[in-house]
Amino acid sequence: MDDASLVAVMNLRREVAMPVDPSRRGPVLLDRFFEEQAVTHVALPEMTRGSVAGYLNSQGIHAGDLGEPSEKLAGFIFVTGRVGWAFVNATDILPRRRFTAAHELGHSVMHRKIMGRFNADTPDSISEAHADKVTEMEREANRFAVELLMPSEICLARANEMKLEFGCCPRGVLTYRLAAELLVSREAMRYRLANLEVGDE
């Protein structure tokens, strides 16, 4: 895990007073993080740069030129002053939307000073597993999302529980159980567990 992303998530958890608690079951409550960052999140169907601009204009917000209106997007973050707006594609399935939302939150936390007023993410730039062809900023936001949505403490705790219960911890089964609990894709969970070297191959 990249240090900057890990530190950013740890600091955010401390700031929001939401430490990782393996005794608590269920997905990470993303809403709370957005509320504490004063970032509103919105899901737009078939999202494009044009639909984001249209939405902001409908709220009376002068967004300016956001780029080619027809370009399809997976995520978008717009920051202004001390607040921001994160957009995800409502057409994506829930685990994907959550990953994108966490990715945009990562931009808001880590890249406010360097990204300008907005950052648009195409489906290629948001990767739940590995992505070699993205910029460092996108890589950091992806790592931020991984650490926020799939805390290592939870992964390790569930692996230990499985070992105690069954005497072994097949990674495939652990992936299935953790992906369901944390509302992330199985692909993202598999990659995370492999990186953490948790579970038996």
Partner 1 sequence: MTPQDRLRISIMSARYLDALEREDDSELTKLWELAANDLALIEAFNSIDAGLVEEQEAQEQARLKSTLEATLENYLPSAEIAEAPSGPISVADVANELFRHTPDRLTAESHSLNDRLRKATQPLPMNLSLSKLIAWAEAIFGTAAPEYWKAFQQAAIKLESRRSAEVEYQLAARAEQRPKEGS
In the complex with partner 1, the residue whose CB is nearer, 15 or 46, is: 15
In the complex with partner 1, the residue whose CB is nearer, 17 or 164, is: 17
Q: Give the separation between CA 179 and CA 176, rounded to whole angstroms.
A: 5
In the complex with partner 1, the residue whose CB is nearer, 110 or 150, is: 110
Q: How far is the CB of 180 from partner 1 (least distance, A)?
A: 28
Q: Which residues bind partner 1 (CB under 8 A)?
A: 16-17, 35-40, 56, 59-64, 78, 80-85, 117
In the complex with partner 1, the residue whose CB is nearer, 28 or 134, is: 28
